Copies of this chain bind each other. A is one copy, B any other.
């Protein structure tokens, strides 16, 4: 069971550290690869390899200063107009919808670790966007943070179920994980009630009320929404909710333009955090982009669930003009 011996120790450099040494000289001291190669007594190509290894190991971290996005004109406007603690606006000038989503996710991924403090309990919602945030995050080791899954699991055809979102997020943060071992929606209200009463589930739901921060996306209340395609709601149910004023979806629950929960046939059958638990948190991080998300985002903000927003330039502009800027 001998550890796989490194064999890079032929040079004059201690070997174990040549990757770090090279990365330091390159990124911190701004030397050229040739210079580094010469000093370490290896060929330049080796340095190229070292630098690539450093990148792959996650040794090198390139971030864009968050101030550039939170201090952006539109970010300030969002903050003032909607009374947020802060907003993070990523550029999407020359980007498509898909690309904008990835950028917003990346932005949130870079911002989130700075918004967390030791002792925090972070609730994680579900969806494509949240999944991409977790995916885009660098591995960090945050002290004493725990991550809870805010809504039950569902069978999405895309692979980003609620427990994968929270699990990835916890892993990237190096945090403790509280998963919700139950489906998001059941066929029968009675079964849901009994499941909620089940000790293990009850304990997990109880843990949710202790979350002091949360990350979620706004879902649109239309037929393309993942809430339908992942089987949480049927087309008929969706129609019912929209007829009764639903303008968006937050953590699996339909909300109206004022952000109030729209009570309906699904609620009794769902397992997940209730919206009133999300009010008045230390942080409610809304991560969304896209034209169809503007109304849901405004609804979520109106409901008082949101303290921080990550979005794109064009979405921010539409939010401001929609809200009567």
Contacts and interface: CB of A to CB of B under 8 A. Distances in A.
Contacts of A17: 72, 91, 93, 313
A40 B94 contact: yes
A7 interface: no
Nearest to A71: B141
Given A73-B16, A117-B117, A103 B24 contact: yes
A53 to B, nearest CB: 12
Name the interface size band of chain A: 35 or more
Contacts of A16: 73
B20 A91 contact: yes
Given A14-B93, A94-B39, A64 B21 contact: no
| Oligomer copy total | 2
Contacts of A65: 58-61
Contacts of A20: 64, 68-69, 72, 91
A67 interface: yes
A47 interface: no
A45 interface: no
B61 A64 contact: yes
B27 A67 contact: no
Task: Pick the 10 closest A-B CB pairs, nearest first.
Answer: A21-B91, A39-B94, A27-B62, A61-B63, A17-B91, A62-B62, A59-B65, A59-B68, A13-B93, A20-B91
17 contacts: A14-B313, A17-B93, A17-B313, A20-B69, A24-B90, A24-B91, A28-B64, A28-B103, A39-B94, A54-B64, A59-B65, A60-B62, A60-B63, A61-B61, A61-B63, A61-B65, A62-B62
